Amino acid sequence: MIDLKILFDAIVEGKLEPAVEVTKEAIKEKIDPQILISDYMIKAMEEIGQRFEDGKAYVPELLMSARAMKGSLELIKPLLTGKKSATIGKVVIGTVYGDLHEIGKNLVASMLEGCGFEVVNLGTNISADQFVDAVKKEHADILCLSALLTTTMVYMKVVIDKLKEENMRDKVKVMVGGAPLNEAFARKIGADCYCDNANDSVARAREMVAGA
């Protein structure tokens, strides 16, 4: 029987090919996909996230781990159709209108996905209407808004106001993040929380889903 610790180690170390190979072997051996996700992949992403929090890993390592995790997850996803327990919540994420930055947003999306959330990544330059439509369509638990410019961060309030207009504000939690933001700005525009890094985003998302 295959040693699944290889999967954990490959993701922590950001090694895509070994992660994919051991996942293929695990599927051949008909190991429960949920075990692969919850006991190895999520734990690996939590480990690299903690190392990042402790200053023992940096953004490139996080990105490599996220890449390895996604490679494995792509193989497992077809086996999870219809399994509600496969995710702990659904997140819609995107960079706001007028802003084309996406590295930080993609890292947060990958970390959330790696830690058990279903993530719908809308991309960049997303309008308020697009965000609201996606929240409705996906029945999202959390909406994550990203901005890297002081000129675009103000658009986050436009999105939140649009949610209110559509009577959707009480149906979804709103997380905001990006270099120019802070907690005071998040409160001012009516967001539920501000996150300053990917690991914090996962922790806060879990808190919000648990408290829903």
Please check the confidence at residue 171 and state whether its pLDDT lies above 60.
yes
The predicted pLDDT at position 212 comes to 59
User: Distance between CA 109 and CA 69 in Å, rounded?
Assistant: 12
Inter-axis angle of helices 42-53 and 59-76, to 10 degrees?
170
Q: What is the pTM of this model?
A: 0.78
Q: Is the pLDDT of residue 47 over 80?
A: yes
Q: Give the pLDDT band (50/70/90) at residue 176.
A: very high
In this predicted model, what pLDDT tens digit does every residue of 111-166 receive, in sequence order?
Answer: 898 888 999 999 999 999 999 999 999 999 999 999 999 999 999 999 999 999 99
Residue pointed to by tokens 């193989």 = 75
Residue 81 has pLDDT above 80, yes or no: no
Q: Where in the chain are the domains?
A: 5-84, 87-210
Domain 5-84 architecture: Orthogonal Bundle (1.10)
Question: In CATH, what number does 87-210 get?
Answer: 3.40.50.280
